């Protein structure tokens, strides 16, 4: 049994119920006069009536509603539609309409079937939005991936164009000029050999030999480089004696060093072994050592030394030459901005040799760098993987 009668109960909680009904968003309450004047509406109904009037009542219209017979104060039970027949945004409530004297009370709720259908539509719309977001994210990712690929392709194209320009520049200038020297001195000897003493002939032959060697070296680098750019250069890494590789290159360059009275020396353990392609290793050593000789003045020194850690051998070529400033060092490894300088005896160069060195060292899993001070000398260093059975340097 309830402790209070209904009237007592409502009076006890009248304020709380009034607040609850006024703020409730799922119950729609409105009070109209018989003339159609809105006397009260809770928040939910206010949102419905904010742009509508009793004249907008459809099914039944307000004019018909006021003439319904009064039965226990409930005069209508069913759907009431707020809106106009010409509009698409009509709003329907499952309603009860009460009349007391000339006052009408409308209490309505949303149709549960309508809510379910609306929720289904919202869920479908949410799924579609989520699918669209996923699709946009995927397309954005694919677009970023494509942009990266395009950038790489563009960079590769720029490098290829730079390589082509460098190739034709070498052919047109650097490879052509030495033949002028060869043809000039050989023509002098052929035409006027009897007019020259032995010393003059030796000097001319020495010039022919030096130019021939430099041209051959340039041609060899050019062929290696072009094959590398075309991807046709063979690569066969194996255990190689670093001592024997250095010995063969030093024997080849000894006459070049003697012409400038440069002392060249290498300090490499005879049993030291590196993992490398022997042809590429010799090309690296030849270019670094010949560069050191070229940029070292008369009576200078060129030294090759090694140090070993657990997995790599560090090979350093050090000279007492003219060195480089920071601007030149920053351009050494770039094909598009490489600097070509003449040696201390006017020896010409293209910068192609260092490009080969970098490419060949990196292809074998190593690194290459330079430390240099202008007017004091340079130290070119590169690393190669060490054979597992190599002995350590004391």
Q: Which single residue is written with the structure tokens 């030495």?
A: 178
Of 363 and 170, more confident: 363
CATH number of 11's domain: 3.30.450.20
Q: With respect to residue 157, please indicate whether it lies within any of the assigned structural domains.
A: no
Do 252 and 377 reside in the same domain of the chain? Answer: yes
Q: What is the pLDDT of residue 348?
A: 65
Give CA–CA dist 353/223, Å, rounded.
11
The answer to the question of residue 104 being in a domain is yes
Average pLDDT taken over every residue of the chain: 80
Higher pLDDT, 135 or 209: 135
pLDDT for 16 beyond 90: no
State whether 223 and 261 are in the same domain. no
Judge whether 120 lies within some domain.
no
For residue 301, what pLDDT is reported? 95
Shared domain check, 298 and 380: yes
Whole-angstrom distance, CA of residue 174 vs CA of residue 171: 6
With 0-12 / 13-18 / 19 or more C-beta atoms within 10 angstroms meaning exposed / middle / buried, residue 386 is buried
Coil vs helix vs strand at 154? helix
> How does pLDDT run across 79-91, given as a tens digit for each residue?
888 766 555 666 7
Q: Is residue 119 part of a domain?
A: no
* Between residues 373 and 209, the one the model is more confident about: 373
For residue 170, pLDDT over 70 is answered with no
Q: How many domains does the chain have?
A: 3
**pLDDT tens, position by position, 339-385:** 667 777 776 666 677 888 898 899 899 999 999 999 999 999 999 99
Same domain flag for 238 and 325: yes
**Phi-psi bin for 75: left (phi > 0), alpha (psi -120 to 50), beta?**
alpha
Most confident of 11-20, 78-87, 173-182, 262-271: 262-271
Do residue 35 and residue 56 come from a single domain? Answer: yes
pLDDT reported for residue 114: 63
pLDDT at 245: 93
Query: Residue 7: is its pLDDT beyond 60?
Result: no
Asked if residue 132 belongs to a domain, the reply is: no
Domain hosting residue 324, numbered range: 234-394
Q: Which of 110, 133, 155 is the last residue of a domain?
A: 110
Q: How confident is the model at residue 254 (pLDDT cuts 50, 70, 90)?
A: confident
The stretch 171-186 carries a mean pLDDT of 67
Is the pLDDT higher at 325 or at 164? 325
Asked if residues 48 and 91 have their Cβ atoms less than 8 Å apart, the reply is yes
Domain boundary among 63, 95, 110: 110
Per-residue burial over 199-236, b = 16 or more CB atoms within 10 Å of its CB, e = otherwise: eeeeebeeebebbebbbebbeebbebbeebbeeebeee
CB-hemisphere CA count at 13 Å for 366? 27
Domain assignment present for residue 42? The answer is yes
Confidence of residue 292 (pLDDT cuts 50, 70, 90): very high
* Residue 273 and residue 215 share a domain: no
Please state, in angstroms and rounded to a whole number, the distance separating the CA atoms of residues 253 and 142.
54
Q: Does 25 or 328 have the greater pLDDT score?
A: 328
Q: Can you give the CATH number for the domain in which 323 is found?
A: 3.30.565.10
**Of 388 and 221, which is predicted with more confidence?**
388
Tell me whether residue 165 is in a domain: no
State the burial class of residue 21 (Cβ atoms within 10 Å of its Cβ: 0-12, 13-18, 19+). middle
Exposed/middle/buried for residue 67 (C-beta within 10 Å: 0-12, 13-18, 19+): exposed
Regarding whether 390 and 280 lie in a shared domain, the answer is: yes
Domain end (from 110, 130, 161): 110
Sign of the C-alpha dihedral, residues 71, 77, 82, 87? negative
Span 91-105, average pLDDT: 85
pLDDT score of 163: 62
Domain check: are 337 and 211 in the same one?
no
- The answer, yes or no, to whether residue 172 has pLDDT greater than 60, is no
- Identify whether 130 is part of a domain: no
Same domain, 292 and 309: yes
Give, to the nearest 10 degrees, the angle between helix 242-259 and helix 278-294: 30
Does the pTM of the predicted model rise above 0.85?
Answer: no
Q: Are residues 386 and 245 in the same domain?
A: yes
pLDDT at 393: 42
Distance separating alpha carbons of residues 150 and 154, to the nearest angstrom:
6
Task: Indicate whether 283 and 196 sit together in one domain.
Answer: no
Is 207 in the same domain as 354? no
């Amino acid at each position: 049994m309830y402790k209070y009668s209904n009237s007592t109960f409502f009076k006890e909680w009248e304020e709380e119920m009034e607040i609850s009904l006024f703020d409730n968003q799922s119950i729609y309450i409105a009070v109209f006069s018989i003339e159609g004047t809105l006397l009260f509406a809770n928040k939910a109904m206010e949102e419905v009536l904010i742009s509508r009037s009793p004249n907008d009542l459809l099914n039944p219209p307000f004019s018909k509603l006021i003439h319904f017979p009064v039965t226990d104060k409930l005069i209508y039970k069913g759907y009431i539609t707020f809106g106009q027949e010409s509009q698409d945004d009509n709003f329907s409530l499952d309603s009860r309409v009460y009349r007391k004297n000339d006052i009408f009370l409308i209490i309505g709720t949303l149709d549960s079937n309508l809510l379910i259908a609306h929720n289904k539509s919202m869920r479908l719309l949410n799924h579609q939005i989520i699918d669209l977001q996923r699709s946009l994210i995927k397309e954005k990712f694919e677009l970023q991936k494509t942009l990266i690929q395009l950038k790489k392709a563009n960079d590769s194209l720029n490098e290829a164009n730079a390589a082509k320009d460098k190739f034709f520049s070498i052919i047109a200038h650097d490879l052509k000029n030495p033949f002028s020297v060869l043809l000039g001195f050989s023509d002098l000897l052929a035409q006027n050999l009897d007019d020259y003493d032995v010393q003059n002939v030796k000097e001319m032959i020495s010039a022919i030999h030096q130019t021939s060697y430099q041209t051959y070296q340039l041609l060899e680098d050019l062929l290696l480089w072009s094959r590398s750019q075309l991807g046709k250069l063979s690569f066969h890494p194996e255990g190689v004696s670093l001592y024997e590789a250095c010995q063969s290159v030093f024997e080849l360059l000894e006459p070049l060093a003697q012409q400038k009275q440069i002392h060249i020396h290498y300090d490499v353990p005879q049993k030291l072994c590196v993992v490398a392609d022997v042809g590429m290793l010799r090309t690296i050593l030849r270019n670094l050592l010949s560069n050191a000789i070229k940029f070292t003045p008369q009576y200078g020194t060129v030294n090759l030394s090694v140090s070993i850690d657990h997995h790599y051998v560090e090979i350093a070529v050090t000279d007492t030459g003219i060195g480089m400033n920071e601007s030149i060092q920053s351009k050494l490894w770039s094909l598009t901005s490489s600097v070509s300088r003449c040696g201390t005896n006017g020896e010409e160069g293209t910068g192609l040799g260092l490009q080969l060195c970098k490419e060949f060292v990196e292809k074998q899993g190593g690194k290459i760098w330079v430390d240099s001070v202008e007017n004091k000398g340079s130290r070119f260093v590169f690393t190669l993987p060490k054979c597992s059975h190599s002995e350590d340097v004391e």
